[in-house]
Amino acid sequence: MFSLPLRDDAHLRPLEIWHAEEFAAHMDRAREHIRPWVGPAFVTDDLDGARGTLRRYAERQAADGARLYGIWLDGTLVGGVMFVDFDITFGSCEIGCWLEPAAEGLGLVTKACRALLDWAFTERGMHRAEWHCRADNERSSAVAVRLGMALEGVRREYWPFDGVRHDKQIWAALAPELQARRSGGANLKPVE
């Protein structure tokens, strides 16, 4: 199993079915915080739901599709990043994230998403990566900016939550654009 250090006390690792109990405990801490921002099928309420979510991602990964990675801070699962969609035929993927409040503001999501983008573009030959978020989720759109993505559009009243429909932003980065920025000396480090 691989473990990619994000900083001295934080690591990115595959989040797999055998992590179900840890994922369920994490969801207990994170559920209400992330519920407005992620899809309802992801936010599980019990151990069976946690297993189901992890199983769905494992099955999709086995078909060379979506993938799920956890972020561990001081040995505790505090969030993660994922390929929500991964389509080799079209050379396109969508990345996403979630994080419990205790781990916010540490740059973990930005570093983890950079690792996903680097792998998708260099190892797998992806051409396009997307980031979708509610338009009022300023933390999420700030990650897209730090990743070098461009806002391509807004889907009006797309995201239903708690009886209200919210706008959804679609951000994207193209492999040639990021490569040009990196080789041209542009710095894609997070804004401090």
pLDDT digits (tens, 9 = 90+) for 83-97: 999 999 999 999 999
- Domains delineated in the chain: 4-183 (3.40.630.30)
Longest dimension (CA), the chain: 49
pLDDT digits (tens, 9 = 90+) for 123-174: 999 999 999 999 999 999 999 999 999 999 999 999 999 999 999 999 999 9
Is-contact 169 154, C-beta < 8 A? Answer: yes
Burial group, residue 159, by CB count within 10 angstroms (0-12, 13-18, 19+): buried
**Structure tokens given for 118:** 């680097």
How far apart CA 169 and CA 100 sit, in angstroms, is 22
pLDDT digits (tens, 9 = 90+) for 21-52: 999 999 999 999 999 899 888 888 999 999 99
Residue type, position 4, single letter: L
**What is the H or E stretch that residue 4 is in?**
strand 4-7
pTM confidence score:
0.90
